[in-house]
Amino acid sequence: MLLKNIQQLLQIRPAGQAWVAGAAMAELPALDDAYLLTEGDRIAAFGPMSECPQDYAGEVTDCRGRLVLPAWCDSHSHLVYAGDRASEWLDRLRGLSYAEIAARGGGILHSAQLLNATSEDELYAQSRVRLARVLAQGTGALEIKSGYGLTVAGELKMLRVIRRLAAEYPVAIRATFLGAHALPAAYAQDKTAYLRMLTEELLPQIAAEGLADYVDIFCEKNYFDVADTERVLAAGQRFGLAGKIHVNQFTALGGVAAGVAYGARSVDHLEVLEAEDLAALRGSTTMPVALPGCSFFLGIPYTPARRIIDAGLPLALATDYNPGSSPSGNMNFVVSLACTQMKLLPNEAINAATLNGAYAMGLEAELGSITVGKRANLLLTRPVPSLAALPYAFGESSVERVLLSGRWYLC
């Protein structure tokens, strides 16, 4: 496939560049008036129009007036869930807080109840609708977590649905085992027994079936503490699963340093951020991930992204698509929120939503930039005056077409 007359081809990186950090996040290498050639599912070549192959025999798309960039890399989602929690959202509109709803047995436990009462086929049917929608919105790589089962059968059901989605859709999917998302009622008096079940019963089964790439835990007051986090990350390591943790959403407990010490691939949320957390991240290989859709929907503080980037660190952006705190998987809106609310420049937000997002799910060698040999997962915008038009037009998707594995995705 040949894309020609591209007004601007963005996020061009050399092979081997894993992420972008600090001041370099404001740079987004680009080529004006460009072409891009794919072969099979890969990017085969690109360059200025003056060097565009003539008489190309395959499919040619004229991209005049349009931008081409890597498809979004959404490194944090809970896209597989059953039903929704709109009723709890109405309770929040009437004045209850997220924590008050959880304390009444709502929240994650409510989603777990719904999920355990839903068949695997029905869960797949509900989840594929959401996946198809986010692909049409420009997502080309996606991480999906378990964590609404909280039982052996429920967690395995979720992970098998994730595997089925990965097999059926032309998008790169990474699966994360988040059994330690909340303490289910059956173990309310015995957290240790629950963690033992997760690490000694479930994890070996998940590893044996190759159902997960990462292990995750919700490190938060009233959920799991730092010692629990270390225990789960250590268990993950024994089975070859790196960590990706939910941490510092409401409370800083020291989980960031624990994540870094255990070589976590990412630490996600960080709405509350202490100087010690920044210090722990410096010099590490752990990616901080901000989830502005969650802050928007819950009305909690935004992750202090400027402090993170200005400290010389990298940052990734993700949707946190889930029924409780962020019922949207639209990366276009996330990029827009990052600019309007967290004061990222468009270039910084695009770096965070592509290459750094790919790194946060271990896909940086395969996706997240315009690099010869990488997978051809690209998005083509509508005619726009400049890149800034994308986040500027908040709530809109400027994505006209999405190329996944070298083919136009037909929604």
Smaller CB separation from ligand NIG, 10 or 161: 161
Residues 277 and 256 sit within 8 Å (Cβ to Cβ): yes
Smallest gap from residue 206 Cβ to ligand NIG (A): 19
The DSSP output letter for 262 is: T
Single-letter amino acid code for the residue at 25: M
Residue 292: enclosing H or E segment and its boundaries? Answer: helix 292-298
Interacting span for ligand NIG (CB under 6 A) from 62-70, 322-330, 335-343, 354-362: 322-330
Least distance to Zn ion, CB of residue 216, Å: 8
Residues 266-305 that bind ligand NIG (CB under 6 A): 294
Residue 325 beta carbon to Zn ion: minimum distance, rounded to whole angstroms: 7
> How many degrees, rounded to 5, is the angle at CA 166 between CA 213 and CA 366?
65
Which listed range, 9-17, 34-42, 104-112, 253-261, lies at the site for ligand NIG (CB under 6 A)? 104-112
* Residues 131-170 as x/- pattern, contact with ligand NIG by CB under 6 A: ----------------------------------------
Number of residues this chain uses to bind ligand NIG (CB under 6 A): 12
Amino acid symbol at 326: S
Please indicate if the annotation marks 246 as binding a ligand: yes
Taking Cα atoms as reference points, which of 289, 392, 385, 297 lies closest to residue 335? Answer: 392
Q: From the CB of 69, what's the least distance to ligand NIG, in Å?
A: 26
Query: Residue 214 and residue 237: Cα distance in Å, rounded?
Result: 9
Reading the block at residue 162, the tokens are 């994730």
Among ligand NIG, Zn ion, none, what does residue 108 contact (CB within 5–8 Å per kind)?
A: ligand NIG
Number of Cβ within a 10 Å radius of residue 405? 17
Query: By CB under 5 A, which span of 164-172, 295-303, 320-328, 371-379 interacts with Zn ion?
Result: 320-328
Q: How far apart are CA 161 and CA 20, in angstroms?
A: 33
Q: Is 324 marked as a binding-site residue?
A: yes
Choose the contact partner of 111 out of ligand NIG, Zn ion, none; CB within 5 to 8 A by kind: ligand NIG
3-class SS of residue 312: coil
Question: Which one among 320, 331, 353, 409 touches Zn ion, defined by CB under 5 A?
Answer: 320
CB of 169 to ligand NIG, least distance (A): 23
State the nearest-atom distance from the C-beta of 81 to ligand NIG, in Å.
Answer: 8
Which residues are 143's β-sheet partners?
A: 174
Tell me how far apart the 2 most distant CA atoms of the chain are, in Å. Answer: 71
Stretch of 168-176, 272-280, 313-321, 380-388 contacting Zn ion, by CB under 5 A: 313-321
Is 111 one of the binding residues for ligand NIG (CB under 6 A)? yes
Binders in 231-270 for ligand NIG, by CB under 6 A: 246, 249
Considering only 56-64, 134-142, 299-307, 318-326, which stretch makes contact with ligand NIG by CB under 6 A?
Answer: 318-326
Work out what residue 224 binds among Zn ion, ligand NIG, none; the CB cut-off runs from 5 to 8 Å by kind.
Answer: none
Please, what's the b/e burial string for 364-383 (b: 16 or more CB within 10 A of its CB; e: otherwise)? bbebbbbbeebbbbbbbbbe
Is position 320 an interface residue for ligand NIG (rule: CB under 6 A)? yes
249 labeled part of a ligand binding site: yes
Q: What is the CA radius of gyration of the chain?
A: 21
> In sequence order, which residues have a C-beta less than 8 Å from that of residue 111 and are 6 or more positions away?
81, 82, 83, 85, 148, 322, 323, 324
237 assigned binding-site residue = no
SS3 content of the chain, % helix, strand, coil (to 5): 40, 25, 40
Q: How far is the CB of 318 from Zn ion (least distance, A)?
A: 8
Q: Is 47 left (phi over 0), alpha (psi -120 to 50) or beta?
A: left
Helix (H) or strand (E) holding 317, with range, is: strand 316-317
In the complex, the residues that contact ligand NIG under the rule CB under 6 A are 107-108, 111, 218, 246, 249, 294, 320, 322-325
In the complex, the residues that contact Zn ion under the rule CB under 5 A are 320
